[in-house]
């Protein structure tokens, strides 16, 4: 019997049979690995950009209306803290440890926090830039990533104060986002002007002026301090911060202090402590600013100075030793010693000028350490700050005799060469965009705060000897400084409304020039002599190809006194061009 030949399959070395199931399985595993990697990376990213909210719950005190006697001013009472209203000023009194102080701020001022948060938010969002073609999709992610270290630079006691503010506001039924509130504290350090604010060329959120002058006839070198702060680069031009909050604070284990700011501003930009040490912060920009730096925001550092330092030397030492997140000129006045100094501070550099010859400080850092800084040089060349400083210095050749004389300096509307300037001119000492105007006599612990827009409003007096030191059974403030009788009370209000129209016009400028020009016309109807309205009218006319309207607008701007040195040369050339 013959056996049938066996069938042996061919063996091909180095080749595998194709299996659709094996390829599909490999693709699935790869996809799963990519998804897992993305999820892990996302959680790592979220953890890196999330700020931890410290624990704590505010006391369950009810809000109660308190009135000492019929006809006496009423106040809201919450535990040991209170909120009263003096004209348009909100006066917050609080005492205790940081969480309690923040909770009092949030609980009593909750109604004003959302508007302030919304006003500061656009400036903070600019840190991420445009981002190119897909920038809109990734903008929020890039903002979070660049600001991921902000909380690391905020000391623990300030983080607890912020936690108190957030939880206090929530107890009042107002949802405050912890991330937004924390970034609010760093906005003066890192924020850039909102694109529609009109301050993008200057790259500044703030515009400030401080004058320090000897008191005429006083002994012991007593000094006056006058202060004006504007925030024209905010999303609302500073309107939300223009209802000043006067904070009278007695922190546990630290020096009591008084500050003038706004709702949500837990730091200090203008203030004085119980030892008679006053401080004013001038936020600015230098080349060494980095949003990813871990350092203390300038307003929080100023608050620490008031809570720790009793004299000028101690304040300077603290400012020199503490790196800042942003850059600023700190004007520090020792009322007891009759001495003062300017500390120019950036994240990596510091310069100190003791008892400077010039009695006025603006938005330019004058210490030799910043002589080669390009951003500081930009401010010197393109802002109106040097003109304001020169005019204030001229007015202070004669020492002021009283608070009314200091107020007259802050209310001045003339140029450095004594020429008249229209209301709203950015080179005027009297800044119509100011969110607060303050006069301080640090030696006697007296303070006056403008009750209304601009320096021309009535200036309310505060007795800080009683408020901070507890001297006397009740406050005995000096007389208020009356409102400027030569000013039309509604003029400053009209300028604010006109500037709101200009912000709307800038928003519309790229997509609807016709409507943008209508809003500029509305602004000019409200404030016909407002220089920046004519400036914008010329730019819109130029974009539309209307050379006659452009020339007319810019000629009028030059007649009123060019208040934007950075644009002046180009505009003069455009006006005379055929």
Give pLDDT tens digits for 30-66.
888 888 888 888 778 777 778 888 888 998 889 999 8
Give pLDDT tens digits for 353-373.
999 999 999 999 999 999 999
The per-residue b/e assignment along 198-219, b for 16 or more CB within 10 angstroms, e otherwise, is bbeebbbbbbbbbbbbebeebe
Which H/E stretch holds residue 230? strand 223-230
For the chain, give the mean pLDDT.
Answer: 91
Res 1: pLDDT = 45
The single residue listed with the structure tokens 């003029």 is 491
Largest CA-CA distance found in the chain, in angstroms, rounded = 141
- Asked if 295 and 147 touch (Cβ cutoff 8 Å), the reply is no
**Backbone φ, ψ for residue 482 (5° rounding):** -60, 160
- Asked if 264 and 116 touch (Cβ cutoff 8 Å), the reply is yes
CA distances from 145 to 46, 177, 285 (A): 9, 18, 21
Res 35: pLDDT = 86
- 249 vs 259: CA distance, rounded Å: 8
pTM attached to this predicted model: 0.91
CA distances from 259 to 91, 93, 96, 452, 465 (A): 10, 11, 16, 17, 14
pLDDT of 7 > 60? The answer is no
Res 244: pLDDT = 96
Query: What is the mean predicted confidence (pLDDT) over 59-86?
Result: 88
Res 327: pLDDT = 97
Nearest Cα to Cα of residue 495 among 450, 550, 456: 456
The neighbour count for residue 422, using CB atoms within 10 Å, is 18
Res 139: pLDDT = 81
Which SS3 state, helix, strand or coil, does residue 461 take?
Answer: strand
Give pLDDT tens digits for 269-310.
999 999 999 999 999 999 999 988 999 999 999 999 999 999
The per-residue b/e assignment along 447-474, b for 16 or more CB within 10 angstroms, e otherwise, is bbbbbbbbbbbbbbbbbbbbbbeeeeee
More confidently predicted of 73 and 76: 76
- 109 vs 180: CA distance, rounded Å: 16
- 519 vs 522: CA distance, rounded Å: 5
**Backbone φ, ψ for residue 236 (5° rounding):** -110, 15
Give pLDDT tens digits for 377-393.
998 998 999 999 999 99
Query: What is the mean predicted confidence (pLDDT) over 532-560?
Result: 96
- Asked if 540 and 518 touch (Cβ cutoff 8 Å), the reply is no
Q: What share of the chain in percent tops pLDDT 70? A: 95
Query: What is the mean predicted confidence (pLDDT) over 96-124?
Result: 95
Which H/E stretch holds residue 183? helix 178-185
Q: Angle CA(243)–CA(247)–CA(252) in degrees, nearest 5?
A: 160
Query: What is the mean predicted confidence (pLDDT) over 193-208?
Result: 90
pLDDT of 100 > 90? The answer is yes
- Asked if 455 and 434 touch (Cβ cutoff 8 Å), the reply is yes
pLDDT of 136 > 60? The answer is yes
- Cα dihedral sign, 132-134-135-136: positive
The single residue listed with the structure tokens 């199931």 is 21
Give pLDDT tens digits for 213-242.
999 887 778 999 999 999 999 999 999 999
156 band by pLDDT with thresholds 50, 70 and 90: very high
469 band by pLDDT with thresholds 50, 70 and 90: very high
Specify which residues 353 forms β-bridges with. 342
| 3 state SS for 330-393 | EEEEECCCCEEEEEEECCCCEEEEECCCCCEECCCCCCHHHCCCHHHHHHHHHCCHHHHHHHHH
Query: What is the mean predicted confidence (pLDDT) over 173-196?
Result: 93
Give pLDDT tens digits for 338-354.
999 999 999 999 999 99
Res 9: pLDDT = 53
Res 6: pLDDT = 53
- 427 vs 564: CA distance, rounded Å: 8
Question: 358 CB contacts (<8 Å, ≥6 apart)?
Answer: 389, 393
Q: CB burial class (10 A; 0-12, 13-18, 19+) of residue 44?
A: exposed
Tallying the residues shown for the chain, one arrives at 578
pLDDT of 445 > 70? The answer is yes
The neighbour count for residue 338, using CB atoms within 10 Å, is 20
Query: What is the mean predicted confidence (pLDDT) over 301-324?
Result: 98
- Give all domains of the chain, ordered by start, each with its CATH number: 73-487 (3.60.60.30), 492-576 (1.25.40.10)
pLDDT of 497 > 90? The answer is yes
- 102 vs 108: CA distance, rounded Å: 10
- 26 vs 517: CA distance, rounded Å: 62
């Amino acid at each position: 019997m013959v056996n049938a030949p066996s069938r042996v399959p061919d063996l091909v070395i180095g080749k595998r049979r194709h299996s659709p199931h094996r390829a599909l399985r490999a693709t699935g595993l790869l996809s799963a690995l990519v998804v897992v990697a993305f999820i892990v990376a996302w959680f790592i990213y979220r953890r890196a950009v999330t700020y931890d909210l410290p624990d704590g719950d505010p006391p369950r005190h009810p809000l109660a209306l308190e009135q000492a006697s019929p006809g006496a001013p009423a106040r809201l009472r919450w535990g040991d803290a209170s909120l009263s209203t003096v004209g348009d000023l909100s006066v917050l009194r609080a005492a205790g440890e940081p969480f309690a102080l923040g909770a009092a701020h949030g609980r009593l001022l909750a109604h004003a926090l959302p508007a302030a948060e919304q006003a500061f938010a656009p400036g903070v969002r600019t840190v991420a830039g445009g981002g190119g073609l897909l920038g809109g999709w990734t903008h929020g992610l890039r903002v979070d990533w660049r600001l991921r270290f902000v909380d690391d630079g905020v000391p623990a006691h300030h983080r607890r104060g912020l936690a108190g503010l957030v939880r206090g506001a929530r107890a009042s039924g107002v949802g405050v986002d912890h991330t937004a509130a924390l970034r609010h504290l760093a906005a003066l350090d890192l924020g850039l002007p909102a694109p529609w604010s009109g301050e993008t060329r200057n790259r500044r959120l703030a515009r400030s002026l401080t004058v320090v002058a000897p008191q005429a006839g006083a002994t012991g070198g007593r000094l006056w301090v006058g202060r004006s702060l504007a925030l024209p680069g905010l999303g609302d031009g500073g309107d939300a911060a223009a209802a000043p909050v006067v904070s009278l604070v007695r922190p546990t284990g630290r020096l009591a202090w008084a500050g003038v700011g706004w709702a949500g501003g837990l730091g200090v930009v203008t203030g004085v402590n119980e030892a008679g040490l006053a401080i004013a912060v001038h936020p600015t920009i230098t080349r060494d600013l980095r949003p990813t730096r871990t350092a203390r925001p300038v307003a929080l550092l100023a608050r620490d100075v008031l809570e720790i330092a009793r004299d000028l030397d101690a304040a300077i030492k603290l400012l020199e030793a503490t790196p800042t997140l942003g850059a600023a000129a700190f004007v520090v006045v020792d009322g007891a010693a009759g001495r003062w100094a300017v500390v120019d501070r950036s994240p990596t550099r510091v310069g100190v000028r003791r008892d400077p010859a010039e009695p006025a400080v603006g938005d330019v850092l004058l210490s030799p350490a910043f002589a080669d800084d390009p951003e500081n040089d930009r401010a010197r060349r393109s802002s109106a700050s040097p003109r304001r400083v020169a005019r204030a210095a001229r007015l202070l050749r004669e020492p002021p005799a009283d608070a009314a004389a200091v107020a007259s300096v802050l209310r001045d509307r003339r140029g450095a060469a004594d020429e008249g300037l229209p209301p709203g001119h950015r080179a005027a000492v009297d800044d119509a965009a100011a969110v607060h105007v303050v006069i301080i006599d640090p030696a006697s612990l007296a303070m006056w705060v403008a009750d209304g827009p601009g320096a021309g409003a009535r200036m309310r007096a505060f007795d800080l000897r009683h408020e901070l030191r507890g001297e006397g059974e009740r406050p005995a403030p000096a007389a208020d400084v009356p409102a400027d009788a030569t000013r039309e009370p509604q003029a400053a209000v009209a300028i604010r409304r006109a500037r709101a129209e200009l912000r709307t016009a800038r928003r519309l400028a790229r997509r609807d020039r016709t409507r943008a020009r209508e809003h500029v016309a509305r602004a000019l109807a409200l404030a016909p002599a407002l220089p920046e309205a004519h400036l914008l009218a010329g730019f819109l006319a130029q974009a539309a190809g209307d050379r006659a309207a452009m020339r007319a607008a810019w000629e009028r701007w030059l007649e009123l006194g060019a208040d934007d040195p950075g644009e002046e040369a180009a505009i003069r050339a455009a006006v005379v061009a055929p």
